[in-house]
Amino acid sequence: MKLISLLTICLVTITFATTAQTTINITTSHTALSLQTDADSSLLLAYFGPKLGSNAEYAYIHGLDKFKPGNDDLLNKHEAYTAAGSLHLLEPALALTHSNGDKSTALHYVSHTVNRIDDNQTLTAIRLEDPVYHLQVTLYYQSYSREDVIEAWTVIQHHEKGNVVLNKYASANLTLGAQAFYLKSHHSGWGREMNAYEAALPPGILTLDSKLGARANLLQSSSFMVSLNHPATEETGEVIAGTLAWSGNFRIDFETFDENYLRITAGINNYASNYTLAPGQAFVTPKFIFTYSAQGKGAASRHLQQWARNYQLLNGQGERSTLLNNWETTYFDFDEAKLNALLHDTKKLGVDVFLLDDGWFGNKYPRNNDKGGLGDWQPNKQKLKNGFTALSKEASATDVKFGIWIEPEMVNPRSELYEKHPDWVIREPGRKEYYMRNQLVLDLANPAVQDFIYRTVDGLFNDIPALAFIKWDCNSLIYNAHSPYLKNQDHFYIEYVQGFYHILEKIRARHPQVPMMLCAGGGSRVDYGALKYFTECWPSDNTNAFDRIFIQWEYSYYFPSIALDNHVTDMGKQPIKFKTDVAMMGKLGFDIRVNELTPQDLQFCQQAVQTYNSIKDIVWHGEQYRLQDPYKEKTASMAYVSSDKTQAIVFNYFVATTFSTTIGLPIKMQGLDPAKQYRIEEINLYPGTISPINNAPTYSGDFLMKVGFNPEVSARRSSVVLRISAM
């Protein structure tokens, strides 16, 4: 192994091919995934956990295999990628039908390459082959050392005499050993995104999946955490966090076996998707992203957040715009005069962008409600008498930026598009049409539809020269999944998502920087496959600030705050300060009637925008710590700490649902420098209020992390934001 590290440091790709036992270690700063061949050339997943002190000792792990005897003499190798039909009788990662109809596959190690991309990223590619068939499977593992994150995906190819049909084709599987396993998963509905459920995995299989086509996360999230041995807390315990970068049907199987083992198999859902692979064609699975932490869920989430900002989220290390959105203030009821007034309100509030939401388009079928117009992307002549030109001029005269909503994958049956191109619509011929929100989904598998969507979005940039923001919505899942274009309907769910990505690739090639919000009737499409093209997402249509604390809390396990758009709205009865504080925990926006605010509320909002501008860098790019859990305590407390540990912003909310007046225990900080002295000051105060927090004393980081601080939240001070600054 010394040879490997020496050569890889020289930034070359090295190829290995051997018949002797081979050990391949995929490592990050603190983690190792060790793969080893056995005497039959099977590639075993020998270990995934904390990195060992000595590289040489990974090779011994294989020898411990006698502790994995298989249940009741069932042969059960812990292979790196389990193929069905030969040895493996548990849930496989790969199942396929060979060109001769045979369903048995075995994979043997052939060679591997290690490519050190830079001082942080290493790509390992391992070639496996079926000894009987001309089938090649290449396992890819890209490791991110500083973030402790690994991406795994697979490329399947064959040179058989005819087509091979892929019946299951997961991105990866991971086999873990422990006394018990606790799965934390997330279940959703519209306005109820990311409800957490954590329980011990029972014997057998538990599957998290989606068959919804689009809006794939409407019912379940494709992100999860598994604790080993005991349920991990924020700061303690072994935990694996995983997420699949795919915006369509997904399937993640958790199968426990042999008392002490769990196999996680993650990938595209094979439901109704037997994929036909021609000889020579390569099938590339999406990436399964995972991280291991021995310091609880907090560290695991920070790994993913950091990785996302550095490598996945578009412009993850950059800036974002604050905005005023008109959806909840006008819904479909607006005209040019109203919009001009909103442009002025945007300026008055001090935010950067005015975002015009749904309702601006459709002429034969004006978009005055959600029953018609989707697909007809021309400005409505009644509402926008002078088109975008006048609005754009007004925006630049007012010195605010202009953004627009679009839902380009969709069509209403009441639309000119539907009349003109019925063949572009996903529906089963001869069946009753079923609608979600009165709409149907366009067939993104069809290149003509891809082109239409690309031209529609690109056209917005021509019509609105200084277009500064796009909100891309998607309000329907797919009923009657049938592509009028495809010959093989088994390819539909996959080609829909590939079509979606193809469009986004083209848009990003031409407009690489414009901020885009990923929205799907709220958070029904939040995954890293799509977030590669988007700067942010809309986590939920539920903007009630109390509920939102919980929703944002759960997203934060997988997604960084810079990616989560939060708006202050009229929803909920909390004071405007509470609502604004909650929205400031991610990317701040407003969707309120600014002209109806009391003078004091307006003054508060204006000051809050300025305060936010002074702290947003820490909120967006700092390390996030969940200090006190709203599910368990009367106070929710969330901290963001700058990377140099000189500044922290801590948001605290009184969330008691039964009678209670104050919090009980001090809140312990995390992430500070124990040796530094800090001062605590309350910020974002409502005009005229005096803070009970004395900002004179200083405390060491050590004290704040061991003893804690008291934000003085109570039923009367339900929301308190603190700035902790190093002296």
Residues in the site for ligand DGJ, rule: CB under 6 A?
Answer: 327, 357-358, 405, 473, 475, 519, 521-522, 538, 541
The Cα 371–Cα 203 span in angstroms is 47
The residue (of 405 and 550) whose beta carbon lies closer to ligand DGJ is: 405
Where does residue 395 fall: left (phi above 0), alpha (psi -120 to 50 degrees), or beta otherwise? Answer: alpha
The residue (of 394 and 565) whose beta carbon lies closer to ligand DGJ is: 565
Where does residue 272 fall: left (phi above 0), alpha (psi -120 to 50 degrees), or beta otherwise? Answer: left
- Contact indicator for 416, 365 with CB cutoff of 8 Å: yes
DSSP for residue 72: G
The residue (of 404 and 655) whose beta carbon lies closer to ligand DGJ is: 404
DSSP for residue 309: I
| Amino acid, single-letter form, for residue 221 | S
The residue (of 405 and 546) whose beta carbon lies closer to ligand DGJ is: 405
Cβ 218 to ligand DGJ shortest distance, Å? 12
The residue (of 24 and 526) whose beta carbon lies closer to ligand DGJ is: 526
For 715, other C-beta atoms within 10 Å of its C-beta total 12
Which residue is it, tokens 């995929």? 26
Angle (nearest 5°) at CA 146 between 112 and 50: 70
- Contact indicator for 81, 154 with CB cutoff of 8 Å: yes
Cβ 566 to ligand DGJ shortest distance, Å? 12
DSSP string, 640-708: EE-TTSSEEEEEEEE--SSS--B--SPBPP-S--TTSEEEEEEESPPTT-------S-EEEHHHHHHT-
Cβ 361 to ligand DGJ shortest distance, Å? 12
The residue (of 96 and 406) whose beta carbon lies closer to ligand DGJ is: 406
The residue (of 327 and 479) whose beta carbon lies closer to ligand DGJ is: 327
Please name the residue ranges forming H helices in 516-661: 528-531, 545-555, 576-583, 599-621
Cβ 331 to ligand DGJ shortest distance, Å? 8
Cβ 358 to ligand DGJ shortest distance, Å? 3
The Cα 226–Cα 492 span in angstroms is 32
Angle between helices 599-621 and 576-583 (to 10 degrees): 20
Please name the residue ranges forming H helices in 36-136: 58-61
Cβ 377 to ligand DGJ shortest distance, Å? 14
- Contact indicator for 284, 308 with CB cutoff of 8 Å: no
The residue (of 257 and 360) whose beta carbon lies closer to ligand DGJ is: 360
The residue (of 302 and 525) whose beta carbon lies closer to ligand DGJ is: 525
The residue (of 579 and 621) whose beta carbon lies closer to ligand DGJ is: 579
Cβ 538 to ligand DGJ shortest distance, Å? 6
Cβ 602 to ligand DGJ shortest distance, Å? 24
Which residue is it, tokens 């409800």? 195
The torsion of the CA quartet 697, 700, 706, 709, rounded to 10 degrees, works out to: 30
Cβ 247 to ligand DGJ shortest distance, Å? 16
For 245, other C-beta atoms within 10 Å of its C-beta total 21
Query: In the bound complex, which residue of the shown chain has the CB atom lying closest to ligand DGJ?
Result: 358
Cβ 210 to ligand DGJ shortest distance, Å? 18
The residue (of 410 and 609) whose beta carbon lies closer to ligand DGJ is: 410
The Cα 385–Cα 340 span in angstroms is 12
The residue (of 471 and 717) whose beta carbon lies closer to ligand DGJ is: 471
The Cα 304–Cα 312 span in angstroms is 10
The alpha-carbon radius of gyration of the chain (Å, integer) is 27
The residue (of 216 and 639) whose beta carbon lies closer to ligand DGJ is: 216
The residue (of 525 and 717) whose beta carbon lies closer to ligand DGJ is: 525
Furthest-apart CA pair in the chain: how many Å?
A: 80
DSSP for residue 484: S
Strands 94-97, 108-116: parallel, antiparallel or unpaired by DSSP? unpaired
- Contact indicator for 238, 232 with CB cutoff of 8 Å: yes
Six token digits for residue 462: 């021509």
Cβ 573 to ligand DGJ shortest distance, Å? 21
Cβ 270 to ligand DGJ shortest distance, Å? 30
Cβ 523 to ligand DGJ shortest distance, Å? 9
Angle (nearest 5°) at CA 24 between 92 and 1: 170
Residue 509, SS3?
helix
For 54, other C-beta atoms within 10 Å of its C-beta total 8
Which residue is it, tokens 């014997």? 203
Please name the residue ranges forming H helices in 74-148: none
**What's the gap between Cα 271 and its chain centre?**
22
Which residue is it, tokens 């007809």? 376
The residue (of 226 and 406) whose beta carbon lies closer to ligand DGJ is: 406
DSSP for residue 59: H
Six token digits for residue 61: 């792990």
Cβ 211 to ligand DGJ shortest distance, Å? 22
Cβ 473 to ligand DGJ shortest distance, Å? 5
The Cα 517–Cα 507 span in angstroms is 14
Cβ 144 to ligand DGJ shortest distance, Å? 32
The residue (of 354 and 538) whose beta carbon lies closer to ligand DGJ is: 538
Six token digits for residue 309: 């900002």
Cβ 661 to ligand DGJ shortest distance, Å? 36
The Cα 494–Cα 524 span in angstroms is 18
The residue (of 497 and 518) whose beta carbon lies closer to ligand DGJ is: 518
The residue (of 352 and 473) whose beta carbon lies closer to ligand DGJ is: 473
Cβ 373 to ligand DGJ shortest distance, Å? 11
**Of residues 127, 134, 192, 185, the one with CA closest to residue 154:** 127
